[in-house]
Chain A
Amino acid sequence: MNTTTINPPIARIQNLKVHFPVRGGFLSFKPKQTVKAVDGVSLDLAKGEILGLVGESGCGKSTLGRGIMRLIKITDGSIEVNGVNFLALEGKALRQARPNMQMVFQDPYASLNPRMTVYDILEEPLYTHTKLNSEARTAKIKATLELVGLRYKAAKKYPHEFSGGQRQRVAIARALILDPKVIIADEPVSSLDVSVQAQILNLLKEIQTRLGLSMIFISHNLAVVKYISDRIAVMYLGKIVEVADREELYRNPLHPYTRALVSAVPIPDPKLERARKRIVVQGDLPSPLNPPKGCAFHTRCPLAFDRCNVEQPKLMAHSGGLHRVACFAVEENRTT
């Protein structure tokens, strides 16, 4: 897959932070606390690449997705999409830049307005952003529906008349209709039945290849992420702890958290599954209100040593390649 050293990335996110203030209450003496949902994330998305973003609950991946889309307020950092400083835009300018980057949401039942027909849902972005006349709009809607595998007959219907998988296709059509360069898919198959998931995954893959889209695919399901992504980033408590090409990450996970994660994913093969040795992560996820000092993972890490309490590790290339890890144990070759 294209690497960022060869082509300029289509999207560049640098040191992005999304901090939520938590009020102590009117009469409380507690100092104002913040939840550091995303705490200094930097990512490059190459043109035509699918970057998987994986992590468990509380890692901040959904917040990151919404932050990049500017659906929530960014505390710090920069977002550059297709050469445009996305973060500097406001109001009308921001709205006009929206066609560059679109989102597919998790819940196909909640992401479509129940009072609008499929036609209305797909037409709205067209007459907001383009000057196409009515005939041209219809043609575009028809073409986009066909692209996602729905017949034009679907256009007159309402969302509640479709199944979950079909609604997700409509949602994907809506994301595609403005010809975006970047798609952010936030758990797009997690709410779907297993037999339908494969359909939608294949659809996304084919669309991405045909249209040359760049995609950030957010999911907690490592197997799904592995299937669809070219490169994968692992998040923990608001930070990225490892980034690698797909095969590399699963064959040679370096960060202790990634290793635990990969060993925990069940494999549908009884002999293999029962023979596996699991790397168990002790304890619970620390409260995001009070993250550990130093490395965020050190309280649960089997390889933690004194440096981990004190400093925060940075993402660094491992053995000069494209595989990057944020871990002192790996850096100092202290892996047992």
Chain B
Amino acid sequence: MSSTTTFMNTIPIAKPIEEDDDSVGNSLWKDAYHRLLKNKLATFGGAFILLEVFICLITPWIAPYGFDTQTLELTLAKPSAAHWLGTDALGRDLFTRLLYGGRISMMVGFLASMVSVIVGVVYGAISGFIGGKLDNFMMRVVDVLFALPFVFLVIILMVYFGRNIILLFIALGFTQWLTMARIVRGQVISLKEKEFVEAARSLGISNWNIIKRHLIPNTLGPVIVYLTLTVPSVILDEAFLSFLGLGVQAPMASWGTLISNGVEVMEIAPWALIFPAITLSGTLFSLNFLGDGLRDALDPKGAKD
């Protein structure tokens, strides 16, 4: 055990390599971050999202009205000083509803995506790492689930368990984890054969620790990219469901319900449709730009030019 410690005070046996600088190392994440910042579109997208998230968080303090406060004299009013974005058919301030709707939409989007990531990564990593018959079976399960039509699934869940926002998260996250699992499994399978994984095995690291410390961190690149592309997908799904009346229930609002309501009055009060639509589109664009930018920034081939 102590054969190397006896050499602690002896002269090094090979000429020491001079290191250029004393700084702490630059992880690949730092490199990627810097490259991301150089991508103007992605940075803009990222900043926009951060701004939206911030606004959603402080909504209760900045919203001029309650989200279900009705001013019945002023239904379908044009945008004015009192109501920046106008009012809807029940006299509710649209700006406030947009803020609260954003909270719901983004919360659903991020939470459902987190669910999909956690389930997908663990499932995919185990399937890919263990391989063989288990992997085969697990992937066939994914194939079958993939084939189920999303909307029918949600309808069935809603009918059975009633309309519940938690159920909405689960239903939405459920459809996304499948692709995540496939992506992670593919990554893990190719990583498994890499020499640093072989080295970990030859050092006697347990399988679980290999997955945790060696495989998953190296799959995070594609996972993060896919995550930023999942969030808009989920928000859109939620908007779609709410539009159909299956998602968020009145008096709560989400961008989907706002759009749905807006469509109903679009000929006489177009602003009721335009503002939520622009906000939703803007958010989706930003997330997509960010996702694209992340994919390029995290691509290891581009790292050293």
Physical contact A–B (CB less than 8 Å): yes
Q: Within 8 Å of chain B (Cβ to Cβ): is A71? A: yes
**Which residues A170-186 have CB closer than 8 A to chain B?**
171, 174, 176-179
Q: Which of B194, B202, B205 is A124 in contact with, Cβ under 8 Å?
A: B205
**Which residues A38-79 have CB closer than 8 A to chain B?**
66, 69, 71
Q: How far is the CA of A327 from the CA of B252 in the complex (A)?
A: 87
For the residues of B in contact with A, the DSSP-based class is loop
Q: Within 8 Å of chain B (Cβ to Cβ): is A334? A: no
Q: Which residues of B contact A199 (CB under 8 A)?
A: 14-15
Q: Within 8 Å of chain B (Cβ to Cβ): is A307? A: no
Interface code B1-30, partner A: CB below 8 Å = 1, 0 otherwise? 101110110001111111100101111100
User: B13–A176 contact, CB under 8 A?
Assistant: no
Q: Within 8 Å of chain B (Cβ to Cβ): is A226? A: no
Given contacts A111-B195, A115-B217, A206-B13, contact A156 B3 (CB under 8 A): no
Q: Which of B14, B17, B202, B303 is A71 in contact with, Cβ under 8 Å?
A: B202
Q: Which of B19, B202, B303 is A102 in contact with, Cβ under 8 Å?
A: B202
Interface code B195-218, partner A: CB below 8 Å = 1, 0 otherwise? 110111111111001000110011
Interface code A119-139, partner B: CB below 8 Å = 1, 0 otherwise? 000001100111000000001
- Give A184's nearest chain B residue, CB to CB: B202
Q: How far is the CA of A58 from the CA of B29 in the complex (A)?
A: 39
**Which residues A146-165 have CB closer than 8 A to chain B?**
146-151, 153-154, 156-158, 160-161
**Least Cβ–Cβ distance between A142 and chain B, in angstroms:** 8
User: B22–A153 contact, CB under 8 A?
Assistant: yes
Q: How far is the CA of A142 from the CA of B135 in the complex (A)?
A: 41
User: A151–B218 contact, CB under 8 A?
Assistant: no
**Least Cβ–Cβ distance between B30 and chain A, in angstroms:** 9
Name which of B12, B24, B195, B303 has the most chain A CB atoms within 10 A of its CB: B195
Q: Which of A66, A129, A143, A148 is B14 in contact with, Cβ under 8 Å?
A: A148
User: A115–B199 contact, CB under 8 A?
Assistant: no
Q: Which residues of A contact B15 (CB under 8 A)?
A: 149, 199
User: B14–A203 contact, CB under 8 A?
Assistant: yes
User: B7–A143 contact, CB under 8 A?
Assistant: yes
Q: Which residues of A contact B26 (CB under 8 A)?
A: 157-158, 161
Q: Within 8 Å of chain A (Cβ to Cβ): is B270? A: no
Given contacts A105-B199, A139-B8, A211-B4, contact A149 B17 (CB under 8 A): yes
Q: Within 8 Å of chain A (Cβ to Cβ): is B300? A: yes
User: A71–B201 contact, CB under 8 A?
Assistant: yes
Q: Within 8 Å of chain B (Cβ to Cβ): is A15? A: no
- Give A106's nearest chain B residue, CB to CB: B195
User: B13–A95 contact, CB under 8 A?
Assistant: no
User: B304–A160 contact, CB under 8 A?
Assistant: yes
Given contacts A112-B196, A158-B28, A161-B25, contact A149 B204 (CB under 8 A): no
Q: Which of A95, A105, A139, A169 is B195 in contact with, Cβ under 8 Å?
A: A105
Q: Which of B18, B27, B200 is A158 in contact with, Cβ under 8 Å?
A: B27
Number of interface residues of A (CB under 8 A): 62
**Least Cβ–Cβ distance between A72 and chain B, in angstroms:** 9
Q: Which residues of A contact B195 (CB under 8 A)?
A: 105-107, 110-111
For the residues of A in contact with B, the DSSP-based class is helix
Number of interface residues of B (CB under 8 A): 40
Q: How far is the CA of A53 from the CA of B14 in the complex (A)?
A: 25
Q: Within 8 Å of chain B (Cβ to Cβ): is A214? A: no
Q: Within 8 Å of chain B (Cβ to Cβ): is A259? A: no
**Least Cβ–Cβ distance between B288 and chain A, in angstroms:** 26
User: B218–A114 contact, CB under 8 A?
Assistant: yes
**Which residues B257-276 have CB closer than 8 A to chain A?**
none
Q: Which residues of A contact B8 (CB under 8 A)?
A: 139, 142-143, 146
Q: Within 8 Å of chain B (Cβ to Cβ): is A140? A: yes
Q: Which residues of A contact B203 (CB under 8 A)?
A: 98, 102, 124-125, 128, 174, 178
Given contacts A107-B195, A110-B196, contact A98 B214 (CB under 8 A): no
**Least Cβ–Cβ distance between B133 and chain A, in angstroms:** 14
**Least Cβ–Cβ distance between A140 and chain B, in angstroms:** 7
Interface code B212-239, partner A: CB below 8 Å = 1, 0 otherwise? 0110011000000000000000000000
User: B5–A143 contact, CB under 8 A?
Assistant: yes
Q: How far is the CA of A116 from the CA of B22 in the complex (A)?
A: 18
Q: How far is the CA of A202 from the CA of B14 in the complex (A)?
A: 8
Q: Within 8 Å of chain B (Cβ to Cβ): is A117? A: yes
Q: Within 8 Å of chain B (Cβ to Cβ): is A210? A: yes
Given contacts A114-B300, A151-B19, contact A176 B4 (CB under 8 A): yes
Q: Which residues of A contact B16 (CB under 8 A)?
A: 146, 149-151
Q: Which residues of A contact B27 (CB under 8 A)?
A: 115, 117, 158
**Least Cβ–Cβ distance between A134 and chain B, in angstroms:** 16
Given contacts A99-B204, A161-B26, contact A143 B303 (CB under 8 A): no
User: A179–B1 contact, CB under 8 A?
Assistant: yes
> When A and B form their complex, which 6 residue pairs have the shortest distance between CB atoms, in order from nearest?
A149-B14, A98-B204, A157-B25, A95-B204, A111-B195, A110-B195
Q: List 26 A-B contacts (CB under 8 A).
A: A69-B202, A71-B202, A95-B205, A96-B204, A98-B202, A99-B204, A102-B202, A110-B194, A111-B199, A112-B199, A113-B214, A115-B27, A125-B204, A139-B8, A147-B7, A149-B14, A149-B17, A151-B16, A158-B25, A158-B26, A158-B28, A160-B28, A171-B199, A174-B199, A179-B1, A203-B14
Apart from the given pairs A103-B198, A207-B13, 15 other A-B contacts in the complex at a CB distance below 8 Å? A71-B198, A71-B201, A96-B204, A98-B202, A102-B202, A103-B199, A105-B199, A128-B205, A147-B4, A149-B13, A157-B19, A161-B25, A169-B14, A178-B203, A199-B15
